[in-house]
Amino acid sequence: MNVLLSGIVGSTAYGLAHAGSDIDRLGLFAAPTADFHGLRRPAESHVTTAPDRTLHEAAKWCRLALSCNPTASELVWLPDDLYEVRTDLGADLIAIRRSFLSARAVRNSYLGYATQQFRKLTTRDPADPRSRAQGAKNARHLVRLVEQGLALHESGEVTVRLADPERVRSLGEHYAERPADATALLADAEARFDRPGVLPDAPDEAPAEAWLRRVRTAHLTAA
């Protein structure tokens, strides 16, 4: 596969990993350009669980990033030491990462995913030990998504590595035990998202379009 950019994401990247944590990898690849002209289009994603790795085709990744999908977007905001593959085209993508951002998409995605985690918290079975452990994980994701989304809204930067992982862990445990307390966190986030931020109303698609065309030109023939 023509992997253009790949790195370690998830709990390791956030600073939330513990001894038993899986190492999650995310990347993007370029399908041979000729493959887009047959009867069937090439696969847009490849996902494996041993190891845990997700690879998105370049165009799909761009669409996800233009919607400010938190998981996909973090690929171009990783600390340098977490990249395992970074080709010239991958570096070019990192250079245009701000062009994918927009205020409405950031609010909808980060706050939307955080709200999903809250719903999972409120519907779990507190008597089930496995459900309790999953609840703590959901709560940590809730806190992380709120913090990262607000930082992005107010600064224009995606902060993948959390400044205070222990605080996020502690709040996660608290909200897992008392889900109703998380409503105040979400209400405050909504109020802050309602205030003007630094992001544009719409993403600038031109850099992504130009980059994707360079990718297609570079992969006109199969490797």
Claim to verify: residue 143 and residue 214 sit in the same structural domain: no
User: Which whole number is the average pLDDT over 120-136?
Assistant: 78
**What is the average pLDDT across 113-117?**
96
- 42-50: average pLDDT: 93
Angle at Cα 117 formed by Cα 115 and Cα 120, nearest 5°? 115
Mean predicted lDDT score pLDDT of the chain:
94
Whether 109 and 190 map to the same domain: the answer is yes
| Residue 157 pLDDT level (bands cut at 50, 70, 90) | very high
Q: Is 199 a member of any domain?
A: no
Query: What's the domain count of the chain?
Result: 2
The predicted structure's pLDDT at residue 50: 81
Q: What is the percent of the chain where pLDDT is above 90? A: 83
Among 219, 91, 100, which Cα is nearest to 158's?
Answer: 100
Q: Cβ distance 117 to 145 under 8 Å?
A: yes
For residue 8, what pLDDT band results from cuts at 50, 70 and 90?
Answer: very high
Cα–Cα distance, 62 to 115 (Å, whole number) = 24
Beta bridge partners of 86: 5
Among the residue ranges 55-59, 108-112, 133-137, 186-190, the one predicted with the least confidence is 133-137
What's the confidence (pLDDT) of residue 21? 81
- Is pLDDT above 60 for 6? yes
What 3-state DSSP class applies to 85? strand
Q: Quote the domain boundaries for residue 114.
A: 103-194
122 and 74 fall within a common domain: no
Tens-digit pLDDT profile for residues 193-218: 999 999 999 999 999 999 999 999 99
Q: Are residues 115 and 167 in the same domain?
A: yes
* Model pLDDT, residue 122: 87
Q: Which residues contact 198 (CB under 8 A, 6 or more apart)?
A: 153, 154, 155, 156
3-state secondary structure of 6: strand
Share of the chain above pLDDT 70, in %: 97
Convert the pLDDT of each residue in 57-111 to its tens digit. 999 999 999 999 999 999 999 999 999 999 999 999 999 999 999 999 999 999 9
| CA pair distance 36, 95, nearest whole angstrom | 27
Q: Which residue has the tokens 């997700």?
A: 54
> Count of residues for the chain?
223
pLDDT score at 222: 55
Whether residues 89 and 142 share a domain: the answer is no
- Same domain membership, residue 177 and residue 114: yes
Question: What is the per-residue burial (b if ≥16 Cβ within 10 Å, else e) of 128-144?
Answer: eeeeeebbbebbbbbbb
Residue 72 lies in a domain: yes
Residue 95 within a domain:
yes
